[in-house]
Structure 1
Amino acid sequence: MKKLLLAAFAFASSVCIADIAVIVHPATADTSLDEVSRIYMGRAGGLMPVNLPEGHPLRDQFEQEVLGRSPAQMKAYWSRLVFTGKGRPPVEVDSVAAKIEFVAANPNSLGYIPASEVTDQVRVIATIAN
Structure 2
Amino acid sequence: MMKFNKLTIITLVLLLTSLSSIAGNVVVVNAGNSSKVSISDIKKLYLGKKGAFSNGNRAELTTLIAGSNIRESFNSEVLNKSEPQYAAYWAKMAFTGRAVPPVEYNNSEQVKAFVGSTPNAIGIIDDSLVDSTVKVVLNF
TM-score normalised by structure 2 residue count: 0.76
Give the match for residue 52 of structure 1: 64
- Work out the CA distance in 2 between the residues paired with 1:25 and 1:96: 14
Structure 1 residue aligned with 2:46, among 28, 35, 40?
40
- Work out the CA distance in 2 between the residues paired with 1:41 and 1:24: 17
What is the correspondence of 1:1-130 to structure 2 with a 5 Å cutoff? 18-28=23-33, 29-46=35-52, 47-128=59-140
Instruction: Give the Å deviation of 1:24.
Output: 0.6
Indicate the SS of the match to 1:88: coil
Indicate the SS of the match to 1:67: coil
**Structure 2 unaligned regions, length at least 5:** 1-19, 53-58
- The amino acid that maps onto 1:34 is S
Indicate the SS of the match to 2:125: strand
Instruction: Give the Å deviation of 1:116.
Output: 2.2
More helix by share: 1
When the two chains are superposed, the root-mean-square deviation of aligned CA atoms in Å is 1.6
Identity of aligned residues (%): 33
- Work out the CA distance in 2 between the residues paired with 1:96 and 1:18: 13
- Work out the CA distance in 2 between the residues paired with 1:27 and 1:117: 17
Instruction: Give the Å deviation of 1:78.
Output: 0.8
**Structure 1 unaligned regions, length at least 5:** 1-13
Aligned residues between the structures: 114
Moved over 3 A (4+): none
